Amino acid sequence: MSLFKTIFTGSNQAFEAAKGAVNQIIDKKGRDQKVAFPSTAYFLPIIYAATGTKIKTVGDLEAALDVVKSLIVEEENLDKALNAGLATAVSAEIIEAVKYASNDDPYSDETGIGFVTDPVIRSLGVPLVTGDIPGIAVIIGKARDSEAAGRIIKDYQSKGLLTFLVGDIIDQACEAGVKMGLELRVIPLGQDVTSVIHVVSVAIRAALIFGNIEPGNLDEFLAYTKERVPAFVNVFGPLSELVVSCGAGAIAMGFPVICDTDVPEVPTYLLTQKDYEKTVQTSLEARGIKIKITELPIPVAFAAAFEGERIRKDDMFVEFGGSKTKSWELVMAKDMGEIEDHKIEVIGADIDTIEEVPGRLPLAVLVEVAGKNMQEDFEPVLERRLHYFINYIEGAMHVGQRDITWIRISKDAYGKGLRLKHIGEVIYAKMLDEFDSVVDKCQVTIITDEEKVKKLAKEYAVPRYNARDERLASLTDESVDTFYSCNLCQSFAPAHVCVVTPERLGLCGAVSWLDAKATKELDQHGPCQPIPKEGLEDETLGIWEEVNKAVDEISQGAVSRVTLYSLLVDPMTSCGCFECICGIMPESNGVVIVNREYGGQTPVGMTFGELASMTGGGVQTPGFMGHGRHFISSKKFIRAEGGIKRIVWMPKELKDYVRDKLDATAKEMYGIENFTDMICDETIAVDSDGVLNYLNEKGHPALTMDPMM
Ligand code: SF4
Ligand code: ZN
């Protein structure tokens, strides 16, 4: 059979299967049965993107079947073949949607996770734009042997890729001992081939969320996924017609397909690579993904994918801190002459002296750096990376920062030879690697001697932390003469620019003013550029001529005016990866704030995902704005509209997170005690009346403020 014929056959099979599924559920539950994927604001995302149709009921699916049919035109040319591939994608989405319409949690009995929610996709924004996740691998089918499959998956994992598994490969991965989970970047989707649609859906929603592409404009979606979503597909095992037509769909989106069987090759798009030792290389090359490798002299793997690895008590060999022993870490800037490059010293017992497992030791990690361009202001920026460097070590876990660090090392890693000096090696290598333009020399001292840990905490660490806190407190928008732009997210949200000020961090929560300043120093032409704080137009709204000019330039004219302190007048744009979103709740004369992790309803009648879908892709949406968690307690938070006094509702978890700082700001600015308690949350009410009652009861200040609109 010709390749075209195979694709059409597969597409027709998918269509028939989708039709069968739709008819069956109509018979069983009627046309009014609701159909939706969990936690998404984009209906059936592929159908929504391709046609603009908002499918809500099983009855609506009948119309979607017509779309599928219209996409299958059996003429032997590439365009028609790719369309047929898309038809298969839409059919697969219909089939999977029917699963969710028949059963609330159709994946509960499977190893796969099925549908990937909007908040998860948003959380992937920053790691993808920073290259922390350099690409997305999709593996479908069954490899010739499980061990090789395991090696390939672990290789992707060690390179930081996000890997999705579909079909028998999931069992093979289990057999080969691959640890799976979103936090480990290996994600089993499901057994059925159709579950591959859940990764297609991720790519398409990236275009909706970050790219702000108009639903119905299929060509633009395909251009977006091709240019901006660095994904590829590995197909293992014999190819069914259905799999081949899925592959055509992938190719239509710009994702190369690499098979382990003979296929008629289409250069860069459809390739054969039978040698499993070369699968990874061929795949990365086909998609143009470059991996930066740091060779480290340690006996275990080191990869960003291990960041989320947890070490349970039973697997633990030794633990430091975690309130059981004293444990702290500190990065300190030194003069060039004061330190010796690559000196790694362990003072006190290393972990092989532990007599009883699990052992507990005190710990101090002192990292001294020197460099011509090093500034004290960068210390916290470098120090925060320690968390990642240590977590990236396979078999090591790091939680907390400063003098509340908590580190565990697993029995497994100990067995492979991991010792404290290796942690020193990792820190040394990564400091020079990531901060090469500010760190010329680095020296690491790891101390387990209790007396010394305590003594140096008093002498070095605590005074340093305090000095930094004072510096941070004194850093206000008024006290500096430079703000920074960040355009890192433009790789996904082409028109988006963040303006980062001391009192307003980037909306992803990952870029503070100090981070931006350090980033500029590290990479002169990089994502963060200084904006001179000049040409003040309006102090309350926060308008500066130079800021407007910079935003206009960096957004290529898409946005020419932004305010830094207003929600209603030219608010800052949102890319999509924001930690929180705030939106106006008119009847309360205030705003609600929702964080990404909160899945429930809010008093404005929308979930986080639905609220978030109101803004994004670098457009301004007055009344809605994405922002970082730390912005909530800022004196500049929607200052133009009256500031934090407008906050009337937040999820409980977020309230608890910001409480101390928010209370302090409210006290300082308005003399209000325990302001956070005046804010309603989901444990009190999510309906408008309930919220208003609570606000009245508490005498919430928003009720008596000037009308917001
Ligand atoms: Fe993206 Fe803004 Fe964060 Fe930069 S600061 S990474 S542009 S969200
Ligand atoms: Zn972003």
pLDDT digits (tens, 9 = 90+) for 680-697: 999 999 999 999 999 999
Q: Tokens 């709204």 sit at which residue?
A: 541
Residues near 529 by beta carbon (within 8 Å), at least 6 away in sequence: 484, 485, 520, 550, 554
Q: CA distances (Å), 323 to each of 12, 316, 363, 403, 463, in order?
A: 61, 16, 12, 10, 20
| Cα 11 from Cα 6, distance rounded (Å) | 9
Report CA(506)–ligand 1 centroid distance (Å): 5
Q: Across-strand partners of 639?
A: none
- pLDDT digit string, tens, across residues 582-613: 999 999 999 999 999 999 999 999 999 999 98
Chain mean pLDDT for the chain: 95
Q: CA distances (Å), 23 to each of 26, 100, 199, in order?
A: 5, 15, 26
Amino acid letter for position 343: K
Q: Whose CA is nearest to atom 3 of ligand 1?
A: 508
Q: Does the CB atom of residue 498 touch ligand 1 within 6 A?
A: yes
Report residue 619's pLDDT band, with 50, 70 and 90 as the boundaries.
Answer: confident
**Residue 449, token pair as written in the block:** 């001697």
Helix (H, G, I), strand (E, B) or coil at 168: coil
Q: Which of 501, 554, 577, 631 to mutate to test the pocket of ligand 1 (most atoms within 8 A of CB)?
A: 577
| Cα 329 from Cα 534, distance rounded (Å) | 39
Proximal ligand: closest to the CA of 483:
1
Q: Does the CB atom of residue 551 touch ligand 1 within 6 A?
A: no
Report CA(203)–ligand 1 centroid distance (Å): 20
Q: Does the CB atom of residue 510 touch ligand 1 within 6 A?
A: yes
Give yes or no for residue 293 having a pLDDT over 80: no
pLDDT over 70 percentage in the chain = 100
Report CA(629)–ligand 2 centroid distance (Å): 14
The reported pLDDT for the residue numbered 473 is 87
Closest to 138 (Cα-Cα) out of 178, 90, 188, 98: 188
Report residue 345's pLDDT band, with 50, 70 and 90 as the boundaries.
Answer: very high
The reported pLDDT for the residue numbered 267 is 87
Q: Does the CB atom of residue 495 touch ligand 1 within 6 A?
A: no
Q: Which of 129, 484, 488 to mutate to test the pocket of ligand 1 (most atoms within 8 A of CB)?
A: 488
The reported pLDDT for the residue numbered 304 is 86
Residues near 694 by beta carbon (within 8 Å), at least 6 away in sequence: 680, 684, 685, 700
Q: Does the CB atom of residue 564 touch ligand 1 within 6 A?
A: no
Proximal ligand: closest to the CA of 617:
2
pLDDT over 90 percentage in the chain = 91
| Cα 629 from Cα 41, distance rounded (Å) | 22
* Whether pTM exceeds 0.85: yes
- pLDDT digit string, tens, across residues 23-74: 999 999 999 999 999 999 999 999 999 999 999 999 999 999 999 999 999 9
Report CA(487)–ligand 1 centroid distance (Å): 6
Q: Which of 129, 209, 486 to mutate to test the pocket of ligand 1 (most atoms within 8 A of CB)?
A: 486
Q: Does the CB atom of residue 528 touch ligand 1 within 6 A?
A: no
| Cα 351 from Cα 31, distance rounded (Å) | 65
Q: Whose CA is nearest to atom 6 of ligand 1?
A: 488
- 619 DSSP assignment: B
Give yes or no for residue 281 having a pLDDT over 80: yes
Q: Which of 126, 512, 520 to mutate to test the pocket of ligand 1 (most atoms within 8 A of CB)?
A: 126
φ/ψ (deg, to 5) at 368: -110, 130
Amino acid letter for position 518: A
The reported pLDDT for the residue numbered 268 is 86
Amino acid letter for position 259: C
Cβ-count burial of 699 within 10 angstroms (0-12 exposed, 13-18 middle, 19+ buried)?
Answer: exposed
The reported pLDDT for the residue numbered 594 is 97
Report CA(288)–ligand 1 centroid distance (Å): 24
The reported pLDDT for the residue numbered 277 is 97
Strands 590-595 and 580-585: antiparallel
Report CA(576)–ligand 2 centroid distance (Å): 5
Report CA(204)–ligand 1 centroid distance (Å): 21
Orientation angle between helical segments 197-209 and 218-228, nearest 10 degrees: 100
Q: Does the CB atom of residue 488 touch ligand 1 within 6 A?
A: yes
Region of poorest pLDDT, from 221-235, 409-423, 462-476: 462-476
- Give the containing element (helix H, strand E) for 501: none
| Cα 540 from Cα 566, distance rounded (Å) | 8
Proximal ligand: closest to the CA of 122:
2
Q: Tokens 């350090």 sit at which residue?
A: 518
Q: Which of 507, 581, 627 to mutate to test the pocket of ligand 1 (most atoms within 8 A of CB)?
A: 507
Q: Does the CB atom of residue 509 touch ligand 1 within 6 A?
A: no
Proximal ligand: closest to the CA of 486:
1
**Residue 204, token pair as written in the block:** 């398409």
Q: CA distances (Å), 280 to each of 139, 141, 154, 202, 271, in order?
A: 11, 16, 10, 22, 13
- 431 DSSP assignment: H
- Give the containing element (helix H, strand E) for 50: helix 45-51
Q: Across-strand partners of 574?
A: 619
Report residue 292's pLDDT band, with 50, 70 and 90 as the boundaries.
Answer: confident
The reported pLDDT for the residue numbered 616 is 80
**Residue 128, token pair as written in the block:** 């993808």
Residues near 617 by beta carbon (within 8 Å), at least 6 away in sequence: 209, 210, 211, 212, 213, 493, 495, 496, 574, 575, 576
Closest to 122 (Cα-Cα) out of 615, 705, 459: 615
Strands 528-532 and 543-544: unpaired
Proximal ligand: closest to the CA of 616:
2
Which residues have their alpha-adjacent CB atom under 5 A from ion ligand 2? 125, 489, 575, 577
- pLDDT digit string, tens, across residues 66-78: 999 999 999 999 9
Omega cis (within 30) before 230: no
| Cα 681 from Cα 662, distance rounded (Å) | 15
For the chain, which domains are there?
Answer: 3-287 (3.40.50.2030), 304-446 (3.30.1650.10), 478-704 (3.40.1470.10)
φ/ψ (deg, to 5) at 153: -65, -45
